[in-house]
Structure 1
Amino acid sequence: MEKNHGTFYWSGLDYTDKGITMKIHGSCHCQAVRYEVESNGPYPYQKCYCSICRKTSGGEGYTINLSADAKTLKIDGEEHLETYRALLPPDARQSNHHRRFCRHCGSHLWAWNNTWPELLHPVASSVDSTLPKTPCYTHIMLK
């Protein structure tokens, strides 16, 4: 059963307690950037519908994220990365949310927020590893 928490829908599952820890490998479309990160919740579980993800995903109007341990991130091709930090209304302050992408092909690879520095959120479309089946999704930033 899903619970409504304002703009968040939560299924009640704890995605980090399934006994699965795996190394996730990912890359951008042009292969200039490759990454590796460890996750104890390697499920593509979170669908974000915020206005920024809807505009930058290029897909169905949301971004699908995973959860990973930020301190385990290893990057090959870091010199090809750029960061996008949105300006947030009403005062146009810069977001704490860092969206990392390849400066050549534009692939969105992961997101990181300094509010929760231990977490990294690989974008499911950038993951090359075979992932376990997601039992259900968490929908965030719904209107």
Structure 2
Amino acid sequence: MTKHSGPPGQPDQPQPAERDAWPPVAARKNRRRRVVLADPKGRGRVLRTIIELEEQTSVGEKLIRDLIRQQLRTGLALGGTTLLLLAALPALFHAVPQLSEVHLLGVRLPWVLLGLLPFPLCYGVGYAYRRLAERHEQDFVNSVDR
């Protein structure tokens, strides 16, 4: 502190650069540090489950098999529903021939529905499947982490 920064009669105040400097080595050595060696949430069971999954033990195989079965069940349900809906359209036009005579923008209704309906329907089903699959995977991860 080479310059007097306060009014006369007052003790010297540290300059801004001196105030912001690191504390001396002696002051740094005496600081307390908290060291955490274990997670208090009981991660032992989680670690055991992860090891079972990685080593593909019978328990790990069952957990993975259940996840795959759940994903397959969801895919078959959504895919089967979509297939039935799309297959029902021609049957509907055959059963109700008056629908075949309806024109929409100069094009017959069966052509419009069979040409345009599958695209947004398949996109919507794919989006729903992806959301459900991610939910199943998140549930799986949460059950492993417990």
- TM-score bracket, normalised by the shorter chain, equals under 0.3
Instruction: Give the TM-score, by structure 2 length.
Output: 0.20
The structure that is helix-richer by fraction is: 2
| Higher RCO structure, 1 or 2 (CA under 8 Å, sep 6+) | 1
The structure that is strand-richer by fraction is: 1
Instruction: Give the TM-score, by structure 1 length.
Output: 0.21
